[in-house]
Amino acid sequence: MIVVDDVPLGDHGDDLVPGFLAYDREFVHVQGRHLVQGLLQIVFPEDPFALDDLAREHGVTALVDCGVAPGMSNAILGYHNETMDVEVYECLVGGFPVKRSWPYQYKAPFSPIDVIEEYIRPAKFVENSEVVVKPALSDPELVEIDPLGTLEAFNTDGLRTLLRTMKVPYMKEKTMRYPGHIEYMRVLRESGFFGKEPIEVMGQTVRPIDVTARLLFPKWRLEKDEPELTVMRVTLSGREGEESKQYVYNLFDSYDEKTKVSSMARTTGYTCSAAAWLVLRGMFTRKGICPPELLGSEEGCFKRLLNYFVERDIHYDVEETTF
């Protein structure tokens, strides 16, 4: 069993490595081993299904994107897709520092390069069963999330494997931040600070994005034992039997003072370890590239995921409405 996870577990975040390092063909070359990959919202541009044939050839179960979103958000959709005709799926997710400091009111619980990817990668979502592409940071809106209050949400490219595995007419994912963050990121992006093409500065060739990440890292870095939050709201609506149903899953998780583990590490890392637990115990045996929606589609696995979280004091509160 190989478990790969970019969740920060060190005291000072020295192990915040870019998510693209997790995409490695060598993982599935090892016959008889399995891969459980715990990642955050937007991590690498490669298509994990490109390795599907290779994984199947070696009899490998490769669970990818086992984080919070993508990750648990996918599992929720996969579970309900088995019992209802899901018509609308929306995921709102974000990590927040408790202390809101000027100018960004943000701290990165994972690699700054991966955070910047959220601001530059075009966002794909589904409208009327058609894939639509818009710039990242587009369609900003204010949303009310208890107990934080008003937050702002914007398009990010977080649907990933759902675009291939789920036939849902309307799907979107948005990232949330404290109000005002979007404008800062748009100014930096439009000014070229997130550019990946090398430029020459005083005889040195650099990529603007690398310089920007280096400058932002100290400002976005969580201090030792600094409290932070993970917030997610997943909404699904559609037909279940003869009724119209809506399910809303709410996650609000905080830094664990007792264990000194960050909320993002808990909500992301425990999804990864729970998936590994299911594979090791033979409860999930499918071979090939397996995104979390396939894990969630097996009722027994989904229920065990929820129980695994409850045992670690992570709670997904569910609101069910019948129309």
Contact criterion met (CB below 8 Å) for 297 and 78? yes
| Residue the block writes with tokens 């040195």 | 204
Of the candidates 257, 256, 232, 238, the residue with the CA atom closest to the CA atom of residue 316 = 232
Of the candidates 162, 155, 153, the residue with the CA atom closest to the CA atom of residue 119 = 155
Residues 187, 206: Cα–Cα separation, whole Å: 20
**Which CATH number goes with the domain that contains 134?**
3.30.360.10
For residue 284, give both structure tokens: 């999930």
Phi and psi at residue 104, to the nearest 5°: -90, -25
- Quote the pLDDT of residue 36: 58
Residue pLDDT, tens place only, 42-67: 334 468 888 888 888 888 888 888 99
Half-sphere exposure of 50 (CA within 13 A, CB side): 7
Overall number of domains in the chain: 1
Contact criterion met (CB below 8 Å) for 239 and 85? yes
DSSP letter assigned to residue 42? S
Give the type of residue at 49: F
Answer yes or no: is pLDDT of 145 > 50: yes
Give the type of residue at 76: I
pTM of the predicted structure, to 2 decimals = 0.87
Answer yes or no: is pLDDT of 38 > 80: no
Contact criterion met (CB below 8 Å) for 261 and 273? no
For residue 55, give both structure tokens: 């994984």
The interaxial angle of helices 181-190 and 112-120, nearest 10 deg, is: 80
Residue pLDDT, tens place only, 287-296: 999 999 999 9
Task: Tell me which of 24 and 156 has the higher pLDDT.
Answer: 156
147 lies in which domain range? 2-322
Of the candidates 175, 159, 174, the residue with the CA atom closest to the CA atom of residue 78 = 159
> What is the per-residue DSSP string for 38-105?
E--SS--SS-GGGGHHHHHHTT-EEE---BBTTBHHHHHHHHHHTTSEEEEEEEEEEEEESS--TTT-
Answer yes or no: is pLDDT of 187 > 80: yes
Question: Residue 26 contacts by C-beta under 8 Å, 6 or more apart in sequence?
Answer: none
